[in-house]
Structure 1
């Protein structure tokens, strides 16, 4: 998550506090919209968890399925 926060700071010009608030808002929104197992994986990936690519692949596949793309 720190990498994304840093990108918001660098590319958008937000303060660290604003970037953190934006990230928490987006993460909360995504987690509300996806099934619980995927929400947990979102948190793992954004926290830099060891599942990394595998979890990200699972998330993107599941999200694609939700939007009719497999």
Structure 2
């Protein structure tokens, strides 16, 4: 299987290598993400991801203490 990605044409071509001419083209929507949006997204993720990690670790460690060992 071969995958060809063309950013200039905004399309992805997937072809199989079994001898058949089986092509599937997927059109990608043209969407421009501004630098301001990208900056705000990264800023929000920088604050939220550590809290999610710490919350997950605390819940996991509390669950280990509740387990009874034989």
Under a length normalisation based on structure 2, what TM-score does the superposition of the two structures give? 0.29
Under a length normalisation based on structure 1, what TM-score does the superposition of the two structures give? 0.29
For the pair shown, the structure with the greater C-alpha radius of gyration is 2
Greater RCO (Cα-Cα under 8 Å, separation 6 or more): 1
**More helix as a share of residues:** 1
**More strand as a share of residues:** 2
